[in-house]
Structure 1
């Protein structure tokens, strides 16, 4: 996941919004760590679940200054909605209270937004985005030594992941194609 994150960091530009989706333990934060490394960020990248967003400084692949805004939207919109309530308006209100609405609607030329768990918000706010969907096996079957199998639901870094990368909006087709071609030639991703 780190290697894929580093490679994706090499195709992003200022103003890009990247959405990470996948179940708990899929590797979203591990991807974010590789992505940060690809931007030359040396500060630790941890899941911003409780802070919701962190800003880190690095450099884009072309050497220009980069500002990574790493958002974990898991807790946003987590309270129950009232019947008939406009979900998008409520999410916008939450983002506005955090100062993130403008970065998603109109990212600055030196920033890239990397959002975990933000499917609803990114669709509502960012018409152009890169969607990285990470899937993993639901549970691993492990032998207990008595020839029976039990399901191990513990999260771990082990296991195969399937990563789908989809560009939404103009400009992504060429960059995603370049990522795929370079990946096929250089790695076993």
Structure 2
């Protein structure tokens, strides 16, 4: 594990972060699964990183951690999918899996800034209320979340995946094309809801 630290942001809220080295797709899935098993309902997870960083692989592990039987695939063409599963304590869980890559485009109306445009698009998709007040039986997992942070609620778990240039190789398994090679996953807890989450989280 890469050393973790505390980042102090006095302008907003205290932010706690941990970073993990993730060498394989299997480990990325395992990280997603362990995070999901800590969910209790009402959480917003923002998942960001470049293409090939492992976002979909993490999401697959996250779905497994919520006991979701359906395949977890990138929701790029539907923007949002809802999947039913189970929290670790046995309560029904609803995963709202969102791909925000195509939201917040550049063709704004006169005088409209990017945040206003983003909020308008979220409202048109019925996602604005989901993000402002997540149902106690639901968890929102939003890919490409870095584009959304300014427009979202103050309480969230940011997960940023990075992949050093020139690392990794592509191999085909029986089920899918995977790309192994070192990645880093930085988990950043923002807001009071997440107090103590990372302190108790130990990805082994």
TM over 0.5: yes
Give yes or no for the alignment of 1:170 onto 2:158.
no
Measured in 2, the distance between the counterparts of 1:123 and 1:168 equals: 13
Give yes or no for the alignment of 1:58 onto 2:85.
yes
Query: What is the deviation of 1:138?
Result: 2.0
Aligned to 2:45: 18
TM (norm. structure 2) is 0.78
The structure in which a higher percent of residues are helix is: 1
Aligned to 1:88: 115
The structure having more radius of gyration, on CA atoms, is 1
1:125-183 CA deviation, whole Å, 9 max, x = no partner? 221000001100222499xxxxxxxxxxxx96121011110100013131211113xx2
1:132-143 paired onto structure 2 within 5 Å: 132-140=159-167
The structure in which a higher percent of residues are strand is: 2
CA RMSD, 1 decimal: 1.9
3-state SS, counterpart of residue 118 of structure 2: helix
Unaligned runs of 5+ in 2: 1-27, 170-176
Query: What is the deviation of 1:101?
Result: 0.7
1:22-56 CA deviation, whole Å, 9 max, x = no partner? 11010001000000000000100000011000000
Aligned to 1:145: none
Give yes or no for the alignment of 1:159 onto 2:181.
yes
Aligned to 1:119: 146
CA gap of 1:129–1:16, structure 2 versus 1, over 3 A, is: same
Query: What is the deviation of 1:78?
Result: 2.5
TM (norm. structure 1) is 0.84
3-state SS, counterpart of residue 132 of structure 1: strand
Q: How many residues align?
A: 170
Measured in 2, the distance between the counterparts of 1:141 and 1:68 equals: 30
Measured in 2, the distance between the counterparts of 1:54 and 1:175 equals: 26
Unaligned runs of 5+ in 1: 143-154
Aligned to 1:4: 31
After TM superposition, what 4+ stretches of structure 1 lie above 3 angstroms from structure 2?
A: 79-84
Measured in 2, the distance between the counterparts of 1:40 and 1:121 equals: 27
Measured in 1, the distance between the counterparts of 2:108 and 2:52 equals: 27
